[in-house]
Amino acid sequence: MGMDVSGLNPRLVGVEPKFPDNYDELSEEEQRAYWDERDEFLENNPGFYFRANVWGWRPIAELCMHAIENSGLDFGDISWHYNDGDGLKTQEDCDLLANALEYMLEEDDNIVENDDLIYFNSGMWNKMGSNKFVKQEKCDELNERFTPGGHTGMKSRILFTSVVDDNGDVYTPSHSINYGRIKTFITFLRNCGGFAIW
């Protein structure tokens, strides 16, 4: 499950390949040719479509809301944690958001590489080296030190690094996105002509 973000008026190069009506009758090679053509179209048209799973989308949405607030932008009420068609409706607004995101990220010295992670503390934590959520008691302890945030009305808490507890154990919030994906979203914003989240 994830969020599909569609450009409303993207700058396009070429024509989107049409899904073949007889796809099931095509050979594997012909099916692969369609997907290769579609991949090439999407690569050449970065404002056409952006997708993120729920775990990755939440940090993107929170970073956007943080950038909007920090830059004093007024886009009205936004509900970007839902796939109900909300989004920005003009290229001008998308450019303003892209600028605000770039400014915010440039100000953080911890981000230097595309695979550097940006975390959003929604109240759930992972212990480094484990793929399991930590128990509620430990989450509560970490949340006292690092205020959780989110679309529940609480102030967002964006973290640019992992955290270390008093025992020397390393923890990260459960929601994260790498810097490279944020840059891809910024490129989408600069080319989409407005967007809707589905």
Instruction: Quickly state the pLDDT bin for 79 (edges 50, 70, 90).
Output: confident
* pLDDT of amino acid 37: 97
Are 97 and 139 members of one domain?
Answer: yes
Residues 100 and 168 in one domain: yes
Give the mean pLDDT of 162-190.
Answer: 89
3-state DSSP call for residue 147?
A: coil
User: Are 140 and 95 found together in one domain?
Assistant: yes
Where do the H-state alpha helices sit in 123-177? 136-145
For the chain, the residue count is 198
- Encoded amino acid at 37, one letter: E
The confidence band for 167, taking pLDDT boundaries of 50, 70 and 90, is confident
pLDDT of residue 2: 85
Residue 195 covered by a domain: no
- Per-residue pLDDT of 12-41, as tens digits, reads 999 999 999 999 999 999 999 999 999 999
pTM above 0.85, yes or no: no
In-domain check, residue 197: no
> Residues near 11 by Cβ (< 8 Å), separated by ≥ 6?
45, 47, 191, 193
State the residue range of the domain holding 61: 53-190
Top pLDDT among 102 and 115 is at: 102
Same domain as 64, residue 110: yes
98 burial level (CB within 10 Å; 0-12, 13-18, 19+): buried
Residue 196 in any domain: the answer is no
- 86 & 170 share domain: yes
- Measured CA to CA, the distance from residue 146 to residue 62 in angstroms comes to 16
Residue 149 scores a pLDDT above 60: no
Please check whether residue 108 lies inside any domain of the structure: yes
What is the structure's pLDDT at 148? 58
Q: Which residues pair with 2 in a beta bridge?
A: 53
Residue 146 and residue 116 share a domain:
yes
For residue 161, tell me if it sits in a domain.
Answer: yes
